[in-house]
């Protein structure tokens, strides 16, 4: 296939990571950007040598040269812009969280399918060097069967600089949908199973905003295991992005916040594991998206995958409101497998 021509819609902070990643690949180029602000358009066009800029996504979607778009703006717009882009015949890479309801997720999946275009969601952890190495270690089987996983995403919310849409749950804001989505995605991906139920506590503790900043969720999976997702936006403190995967014959963990390390624990020792960083944070994300188009295959972090992640996030919110465990709608139809020997009080297993 010839070079894939891309349009980027929304030039807030993270559009830069998309442009940087595309610049590391030979078979894809940004030919247009769209943003409401002229100064942002000119800045990106000048910096990355992008030929065309449009004030809104509507104009950009009329550009016949564009094969695919990245939807990189506020959460409340993901659904509408993705559906519009699919209907304009463009492949779509939409940022996380996928959308604000399962109905919206379904409409996006349907729009991609009916227009025969690819839909992928920007679940960055799937493409990070350190997590790919962790996944490789788990998949190798050297640590034996999984027992549990605990994932954190805790950071300073930088309230004063946080755009209003991210401080309003009505607009899809709050820590749970903004960063909890990464934790749940990471947890579910490493668990390599589908969630069946969630029990969570979610609330607002540290900020004056109509959106959460505190979430802890226990997620049960079809493989019989449970994992814990912790997503906290505090007012002060360095980031905690730890991931601990505990297996029968050892543990693999990521720690270290901004200077992450990967370690395997076996025989009472922690061993540092080297890993490769990609040439740009979103390099593998864009490589996979382009490959899925070129080869006409399902992209990783597909619409269906991301819908499942949203189902877990929404169920956790319902659980926090009701104080009850919430069974996922899709979980009911699955045959539950059990990991290991069934746990019973009578036999002293718990």
Ligand X SMILES: NC(=O)c1ccc[n+]([C@@H]2O[C@H](COP(=O)([O-])OP(=O)(O)OC[C@H]3O[C@@H](n4cnc5c(N)ncnc54)[C@H](O)[C@@H]3O)[C@@H](O)[C@H]2O)c1
* Residues making contact with ligand X (CB under 6 A): 9-15, 34-37, 40, 56-57, 72-75, 77, 95-96, 122, 124, 163, 178
- Measured in whole angstroms, how far is the alpha carbon of residue 90 from the centre of its chain? 21
In the complex, the smallest distance separating the C-beta of residue 44 from ligand X, rounded to whole angstroms, is 10
Q: How far is the CB of 64 from ligand X (least distance, A)?
A: 18
Per DSSP bridges, beta strands 146-156 and 243-247 are antiparallel
Considering beta carbons, is residue 74 or 331 the nearer one to ligand X?
74
Cα–Cα distance for residue pair 56/85, rounded to 1 Å: 12
How far from chain centre, in Å, is Cα 240?
17
Q: Which residue has the closest beta carbon to ligand X?
A: 12
The residue among 92 and 196 lying less far from ligand X, judged by its C-beta, is 92
Least distance to ligand X from the beta carbon of 153, Å?
10
Selection from 341, 327, 319 nearest residue 194 by Cα: 327
CB of 18 to ligand X, least distance (A): 9
Both tokens of residue 167? 């401080």
Nearest to 127 by CA among 292, 295, 301, 271: 301
- The least CB distance from residue 187 to ligand X, in Å, is 16
Q: Residue 76: what are its φ and ψ, rounded to 5°?
A: -70, -15
Nearest distance from C-beta of residue 96 to ligand X, angstroms: 6
Q: Quick one: which of 314, 319, 328 has its CA closest to 176?
A: 314
* Of residues 49 and 164, the one with the C-beta less far from ligand X: 164
- Helix/strand/coil (H/E/C) assignment for every residue in 150-162: EEEEEEECCHHHC
Rounded Cα gap, residues 101 and 183, in angstroms:
19
- Smaller CB distance to ligand X: residue 99 or 146? 99
User: In whole angstroms, what is the distance from residue 4 CA to residue 83 CA?
Assistant: 20
First to last CA, the chain: 57
Between 146 and 285, name the residue whose CB sits nearer to ligand X.
Answer: 285
> What's the CA gap between 205 and 198, in Å, rounded?
21
Q: Which residue has the tokens 């004063």?
A: 160
Q: Which lies closer to ligand X via its Cβ, residue 80 or residue 222?
A: 80
Nearer to ligand X, 24 or 251 (CB): 24
What is the nearest approach in angstroms of ligand X to the Cβ of residue 151?
15
13 vs 348, which CB is nearer to ligand X?
A: 13
Dihedrals phi, psi of 288, to nearest 5 degrees: -65, -40
Residue 33 CB, shortest distance to ligand X, in Å, is: 9
Q: Note whether 36 and 53 are within 8 A (CB).
A: no
Q: Closest by alpha carbon to 209, among 177, 183, 241, 237?
A: 177
User: Which is closer to ligand X, CB of 40 or CB of 222?
Assistant: 40
Considering the complex, what minimum distance in angstroms separates the CB of residue 3 from ligand X? 24
Nearest to 33 by CA among 85, 74, 71: 71
The tokens for 143 are 């640590």
Nearer to ligand X, 16 or 220 (CB): 16
| Least distance (Å) between residue 332 CB and ligand X | 30
């Amino acid at each position: 296939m010839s070079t894939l021509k891309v349009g980027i819609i929304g030039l807030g902070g993270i559009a830069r990571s998309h442009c940087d990643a595309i610049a590391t690949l030979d078979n894809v180029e940004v030919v247009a950007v769209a943003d409401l602000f002229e100064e942002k358009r000119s800045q990106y066009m000048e910096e990355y040598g992008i030929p065309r800029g449009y004030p809104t996504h509507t104009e950009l979607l009329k550009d016949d040269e564009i094969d695919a778009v990245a939807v990189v703006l506020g959460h409340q717009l993901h659904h509408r812009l993705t559906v519009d882009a699919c209907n304009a015949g463009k492949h779509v890479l939409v940022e996380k969280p996928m959308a604000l309801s399962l109905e919206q997720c379904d409409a996006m999946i349907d729009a991609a399918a009916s227009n025969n275009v690819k839909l992928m969601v920007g679940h960055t952890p799937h493409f990070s060097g350190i997590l790919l190495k962790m996944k490789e270690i788990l998949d190798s089987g050297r640590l034996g069967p999984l027992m549990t996983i605990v994932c954190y995403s805790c950071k300073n919310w930088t309230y004063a600089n946080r755009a209003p849409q991210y401080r309003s749950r009505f607009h899809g804001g709050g820590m749970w949908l903004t960063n909890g989505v990464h934790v749940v995605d990471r947890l579910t991906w490493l668990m390599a199973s589908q969630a069946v139920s969630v029990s969570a506590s979610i609330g607002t503790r540290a900020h004056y905003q109509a959106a959460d900043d505190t979430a802890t969720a226990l997620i049960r999976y079809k493989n019989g295991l449970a994992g814990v997702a912790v997503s906290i936006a505090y007012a002060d403190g360095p980031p905690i992005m730890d991931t601990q995967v505990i297996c029968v014959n050892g543990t693999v963990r990521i720690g270290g916040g901004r200077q992450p390390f990967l370690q395997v624990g076996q025989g009472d020792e922690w061993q540092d594991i080297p890993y490769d960083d990609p040439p740009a944070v979103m390099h593998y994300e864009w490589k996979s998206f382009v490959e899925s188009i070129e080869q006409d295959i399902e992209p990783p972090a597909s619409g269906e995958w991301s819908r499942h992640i949203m189902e877990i996030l929404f169920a956790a919110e319902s659980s926090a409101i009701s104080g009850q465990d919430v069974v996922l709608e899709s979980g009911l139809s699955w045959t539950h497998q059990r990991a290991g020997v069934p746990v019973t009080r009578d036999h002293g297993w718990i």
